[in-house]
Amino acid sequence: MKPAASISLDLDNLWSYLKTQGAPGWESFPGYLDMVVPRILDLLERCGQRITFFIVGQDATIESNRAVLKQIADAGHEIANHSFMHEPWLHLYSREQLHEEIGGAEKAIAAVTGRQTRGFRGPGFSTSPLVREVLAERGYAYDASLFPSALGPVARLLFFLNSKLSAEEKAQRKGLYGKFSDAFGTLRPFAWDNGLIELPVTTMPLLRLPVHTTYLMFLAQKSELLARLYWNTAVLLCRLRGVAPSLLLHPTDFLDVHDVPQMSFFPGMKLPAARKIAIVEHAIRALQQHWQAGTMSQHAESAHAATPKLTHLSTQQA
């Protein structure tokens, strides 16, 4: 039997990208879910693949989004929590604020999809010991907010250079994409001492470079051959190192600048959507060839069953 791996998609909407960048107009919650969700579901159906969708609670409160969010659940995909307002500074929240933020998203998402969320990923990989405590208190099975890459601070710097954020807003976002020390964290699932399982987003073994599909689109804008070679190298290194990947997708992997002109600042948006979708399909099928790719819950359950004594770390670490 093939070892378990997982695929997830952070269903970040247009307004959440604009908000993180500090761009005007996000307060009216502009979106593209009705455009992108059918594309995503079509590809996943073609690949015979079920994944985990991390949904933002605010989007579930908007009437125009409800039909497509329900389609995701009806198609058999796992529904998970990506916070209510998609603010990548959860590390600054109090315990009360975290319960309100996470609980509010739970309620909104369940009202639309009929699913209770068991998994969480912080926006921009925002996390803290207190976030993990609150997740355990709320009965979550797993968290997926760690990004073990040395390029997180570099990505944050480039983001700041291309944004119009004030000094105060930059201070709020100082944890965006993680810190340099995250590169030394494990790529394998592990359990915190409160029982919460952590599923880090996979980066390239040894080099710890990003391999999520948004990074592949950045490379593909220069050379699609290079992007596919890069991904194939990551797959090979994962196999050699015994790492079962957790692949991360984003809606922008299915969109281009003609679909969403407001996203012209985002990496890879000049690449036509059809070519981006072909790259995502290549990544998924390569994963399926070597691993039993499934949802994050399935990955967490498989990891726990295979190694009941998962490495335990204190929730005060990382």
DSSP string, 193-234: TTS-EE-PPPB-TTT--B-SHHHHHHHHTT-HHHHHHHHHHH
Structural domain contains residue 316: no
User: Is 283 a residue whose pLDDT tops 90?
Assistant: yes
Structural domain contains residue 92: yes
| Residue 271 · residue 233 · CB < 8 Å | no
- In this prediction the pTM is 0.91
Q: What are the pLDDT digits (tens) for 207-243?
A: 999 999 999 999 999 999 999 999 999 999 999 999 9
48 SS3 class: coil
Can you give the residue range of the structural domain that contains 275? Answer: 4-310
Q: Which one, of 266, 247, 262, 276, lies nearest residue 40 by Cα?
A: 276
Could you count the other beta carbons within 10 Å of the beta carbon of residue 103?
Answer: 15
| Residue 248 · residue 213 · CB < 8 Å | yes
Q: What are the pLDDT digits (tens) for 106-117?
A: 999 999 999 999
The count of C-alpha atoms lying within 13 angstroms of the C-alpha of 102, restricted to the half-sphere facing its C-beta, is: 29
Can you state the angle between helices 33-47 and 63-74, rounded to 10 degrees?
10
Percent of the chain whose predicted confidence (pLDDT) is above 70: 86
User: Is 174 a residue whose pLDDT tops 70?
Assistant: no
The mean-pLDDT minimum among 13-17, 181-185, 289-293, 308-312 falls in 308-312
Structural domain contains residue 318: no
User: Is 181 a residue whose pLDDT tops 80?
Assistant: no
- How many independent structural domains does the chain possess? 1
User: Is 178 a residue whose pLDDT tops 90?
Assistant: no
Residue 244's CATH number: 3.20.20.370
Residue 176 has phi, psi (to 5 degrees) of -55, 130
Could you count the other beta carbons within 10 Å of the beta carbon of residue 97?
Answer: 13
Alpha-carbon gap, residue 64 to 73, rounded angstroms: 16
| Residue 10 · residue 18 · CB < 8 Å | no
Q: What are the pLDDT digits (tens) for 116-170?
A: 999 999 998 999 999 999 999 999 999 999 999 876 665 555 555 666 666 766 5
User: Is 101 a residue whose pLDDT tops 70?
Assistant: yes
From residue 249, alpha-carbon distances to 10, 14, 217 in Å are: 7, 15, 11
Helices (H), the chain: 14-21, 33-47, 57-60, 63-74, 95-113, 129-137, 152-161, 167-172, 213-220, 224-241, 273-290, 296-306
User: Is 313 a residue whose pLDDT tops 90?
Assistant: no
Q: For residue 216, give both structure tokens.
A: 């592949």
Alpha-carbon gap, residue 301 to 152, rounded angstroms: 28
Structural domain contains residue 317: no
Structural domain contains residue 209: yes
Residue 155 pLDDT: 58
Structural domain contains residue 232: yes
Structural domain contains residue 315: no
Alpha-carbon gap, residue 210 to 245, rounded angstroms: 12
Q: Work out the mean pLDDT of the chain and round it to a whole number.
A: 90
Structural domain contains residue 290: yes
